[in-house]
Amino acid sequence: MTLALTDVSKEYGQKLALDGVNLTVSPREFLCVVGASGSGKSTLLSLVAGLMMPTTGEITVDGHPITGPGPDRGLVFQNGSLYPWRTVERNVAFGLELLALDTAERDRRVDWYLAETGLAGVRRSLPRRLSGGQQQRVAIARALVCEPDVLLLDEPFGALDVQTKEDMQLLIRQIWLDTGTTVLMVTHDVEEAVFLGTRVVVLASDPGRVAAEVRVPLAEDRDLAVKRTPAFLALRASVEDMVRCGVTR
Amino acid sequence: MRTALADRTPDVRTTWPPLPRRTRPRRTALTIRTPISRRATTILTVLSLAVPFSAWVVLSASGAVPATFLPPPGAVVSAGWETARSGELAVDVWTTTRRVLQGFGLAVLVSVPLGILMGAFQAGQAAFEPLIGLLRYLPASAFIPLLIIWLGLGEPSKIAILFIGTVFFNTLMTADVVRGVPRPLIDVSYTLGARRGEVLRKVVVPHSLPGIIDAVRVNAAAAWNFVVVAELVNSTAGLGYRIVRAQRFLQTDKIFAVLVVIGVIGVTIDVALRLVRARVGRWAA
Ligand SMILES: Nc1ncnc2c1ncn2[C@@H]1O[C@H](COP(=O)(O)OP(=O)(O)O)[C@@H](O)[C@H]1O
Ligand SMILES: [Mg+2]
């Protein structure tokens, strides 16, 4: 699966939110897009998800233009997108309930993703009983169970406290390694982007556009300790500078 | 790249007098949203019922107000018992309830789908909002003469009053509830593969259901009002009719008894709908 954005622009009325974005996401990649608030990160993901159409330009998956939203591009928001009346397991099962799938097959898949995301113990709880981190895990499991070509994450850990956020970073890396899924994640947190990404793209603001692109030369097998190594800190500092330059211009 | 603070603001604050301090009010039972004790709650509730009731007893017993104006509670009870025993009351209650079920039931059947349509689609909103927004301000009771001309004196005109009195409000309230379904919930459903109909059935409706029941509960009270008004004007049975008849013979005690019955039925409906709402909306609590 290759996701390609070609000269993508998006205008909201007069406001130019994205200006000529070119971006390619390769199979099995973990691509992080960083940018300040208002740089068009959510707009970018909504376009890829197919929730809106670009004003100009084209977005393709394996050469086929995107025409609308679908389970091949699973989306996870920052918070508040769980079905509050459905239990954890029924939230995760939502996408599968829409398919002609017998119950045993559905349950087997739901069970696997509940286990993978560490939610087996709360499977019959309602979302409001869960912590913020658990809620995000449900949202991730719910997208992954549909076996998307690419998982789209819009600041998924932005509302979490620092400790929970780091737990979730480890979890999403583990899931990425286990499932071999492609991930496109946007965040304003440079440390998070550098820690998680195989590649980091910096978005400049007003209008949103690609300002820089950095390959992350860290080992695939990372733990939190890597965040204290000189190589990590240097990379993080240089990306932070790029983000700041992109803002003040 | 700007890293440090630019020119500091000159500190002229040293020349200012200190800010005046306000005395901090103490926390009392009347501090906003302060919980009061269980006992205080009980006492207030009991008093709120006991005071008006005692006033009634005292006023009617003292003879200060003639019994034709204000019958004593005992007379009301026996008048009520009398109508109940004659079988009259059961017929009246059933007649009135049937009208509510038909008129308001029809209003719910129309207003809920229409409200969902208006809340979910901008086209539905644009097409119906102006007319319904206007119609709901026309008092339903003002339609009574017109409806009698159109539909005659029988059941249809009464059911129509109930319908007109509740359908517009229930539609607009349902539409508001549906518009309250969070955008991300709808967006995420599409990305999980749901089609439009599935989003409506599996996301919009379940999310709106508790709010729709709330709307129905509010408008059920209105329906119960309209039916009595309709029966006051012209009918041959029903609780409103019973009041008019009692008035003709100056049977104030009977009027009071019927009013009590109307109140009790109203509260029962309200409590029943509250229970349903609590069950359906457990996830929202
Ligand atoms: N629906 C909208 N209508 C008008 N302007 C919008 C809309 N959504 C976003 N914008 C504007 O587009 C720019 C990019 O927004 P967004 O993609 O949400 O940025 P980010 O997610 O990086 O914070 C911002 O300036 C924002 O104000
Ligand atoms: Mg955003």
Pocket test for ligand 1, best of A14, A16, A39, A43 (most atoms within 8 A of CB): A43
Q: What are B214-250's pLDDT values in tens digits?
A: 999 999 999 999 998 889 887 889 999 999 999 999 9
Q: What are A164-207's pLDDT values in tens digits?
A: 999 999 999 999 999 999 999 999 999 999 999 999 999 999 89
**Alpha-carbon span A178 to A73, nearest angstrom:** 18
**Alpha-carbon span B160 to B59, nearest angstrom:** 41
Number of domains in chain B: 1
Backbone phi and psi for residue A220, each to the nearest 5 degrees, phi listed first: -60, -40
pLDDT for residue B5:
64
**Alpha-carbon span B23 to A181, nearest angstrom:** 62
**Alpha-carbon span B93 to B238, nearest angstrom:** 6
Whether B168 shows a pLDDT value over 80: the answer reads yes
Domain residue ranges in chain A: 3-72+149-248, 82-147
**Alpha-carbon span B264 to B210, nearest angstrom:** 24
Positions of E strands within chain B:
none
**Alpha-carbon span A96 to B97, nearest angstrom:** 45
With a pLDDT cut of 70, the percent of chain A lying above it is 98
Which of A95, A126, A152 lies nearest to residue B192, judging by beta carbons? A95
B33 belongs to a structural domain = no
Whether A247 shows a pLDDT value over 80: the answer reads no
Q: How far is CA B61 from CA A72, A110, B57, B72, B73, in A?
A: 80, 72, 6, 7, 9
**Alpha-carbon span A53 to A47, nearest angstrom:** 6
Between the CA of A38 and the centroid of ligand 1 the distance, in Å, is: 6
Residues from chain A that touch B184, judged by Cβ atoms under 8 A, are: 77, 80-81
CB A61, CB A2: distance < 8 Å: yes
> Chain B within 8 Å of A73 (Cβ-Cβ)?
yes
CB of A132 closer than 6 angstroms to any ligand 1 atom: no
Whether B2 shows a pLDDT value over 80: the answer reads no
**Alpha-carbon span A34 to A176, nearest angstrom:** 19
pLDDT for residue A11:
97
pLDDT-based confidence at A248, cuts 50/70/90? low
Residue B36 tokens read as 């009061």
Q: Cβ contact (<8 Å) for A94 and B206? A: no
Pocket test for ligand 1, best of A15, A21, A155, A189 (most atoms within 8 A of CB): A15
pLDDT for residue A155:
97
Please identify among residues 18-57 of chain A the ones whose CB lies closer than 8 Å to any CB of chain B.
Answer: 46, 49-51
pLDDT for residue B4:
60
Q: What is the mean pLDDT of chain A?
A: 95
CATH of region A3-72+149-248: 3.40.50.300
Q: What are A24-48's pLDDT values in tens digits?
A: 999 999 999 999 999 999 999 999 9
Q: Which domain holds residue B123?
A: 73-284
What DSSP element (H or E) covers A76? strand A73-76
**Alpha-carbon span A167 to A174, nearest angstrom:** 11
Q: Cβ contact (<8 Å) for A77 and B184? A: yes
Structure-model confidence comparison of residues B66 and A140, the more confident one: A140
**Alpha-carbon span B232 to B244, nearest angstrom:** 6
- Order across the sheet with A30-35: list the strands: A73-76, A150-154, A182-187, A30-35, A199-204, A209-215
Average of per-residue pLDDT across B120-132: 96
Residue A76's contacts (CB-CB under 8 Å, 6 or more residues apart) are A136, A139, A140, A143, A151, A152, A153, A154, A156
**Alpha-carbon span B104 to B216, nearest angstrom:** 9
With a pLDDT cut of 90, the percent of chain A lying above it is 94
Pairing of strands A150-154, A73-76: parallel
pLDDT for residue B234:
77
pLDDT-based confidence at B284, cuts 50/70/90? confident
**Alpha-carbon span A247 to A205, nearest angstrom:** 6
Which of A73, A83, A97 lies nearest to residue B191, judging by beta carbons? A73
CA distance to partner chain B, nearest, from residue A129 (Å): 10
Q: How far is CA B229 from CA B41, B167, B170, B234, B253, in A?
A: 35, 17, 19, 9, 20
* Shortest CA distance from B191: residue in chain A: A70
Q: Which of A177-181, A202-206, B135-139, B174-178 tops mean pLDDT? A: B174-178
Please identify among residues 140-199 of chain B the ones whose CB lies closer than 8 Å to any CB of chain A.
Answer: 182, 184-185, 187-194, 198
Q: Cβ contact (<8 Å) for A51 and B192? A: no
- The minimum-distance atom of ligand 1 relative to the CA of A203 is 22
Please identify among residues 60-79 of chain B the ones whose CB lies closer than 8 Å to any CB of chain A.
Answer: none
CB A1, CB A208: distance < 8 Å: no
Between the CA of A135 and the centroid of ligand 2 the distance, in Å, is: 18
> Chain B within 8 Å of A142 (Cβ-Cβ)?
yes
Positions of E strands within B159-242:
none
CB of A42 closer than 6 angstroms to any ligand 1 atom: yes
Which of B193, B203, B206 lies nearest to residue A95, judging by beta carbons? B193
Pairing of strands A64-65, A15-25: unpaired
B41 belongs to a structural domain = no
The enclosing domain of B135 has a CATH number of: 1.10.3720.10
**Alpha-carbon span A80 to B185, nearest angstrom:** 8
**Alpha-carbon span B177 to B115, nearest angstrom:** 9
The runs of H, that is alpha helices, within chain A are 41-49, 88-97, 103-116, 132-144, 162-179, 190-196, 230-248
CA distance to partner chain B, nearest, from residue A51 (Å): 7
Whether A69 shows a pLDDT value over 60: the answer reads yes
Number of H helices, E strands in chain B: 11, 0
Pick among A91, A96, A98 to test the B interface (most B CBs inside 10 A): A98
Q: Cβ contact (<8 Å) for A75 and B188? A: yes
CA torsion A75-A78-A80-A83 (nearest 10°) is: 20
Residue B140 tokens read as 């339903």
In this structure, which amino acid lies at residue A161? Answer: D
Residues from chain B that touch A139, judged by Cβ atoms under 8 A, are: 188
Q: What are B30-74's pLDDT values in tens digits?
A: 888 888 999 999 999 999 999 999 999 999 888 888 888 999 999
- Order across the sheet with A3-12: list the strands: A15-25, A3-12, A56-61, A64-65
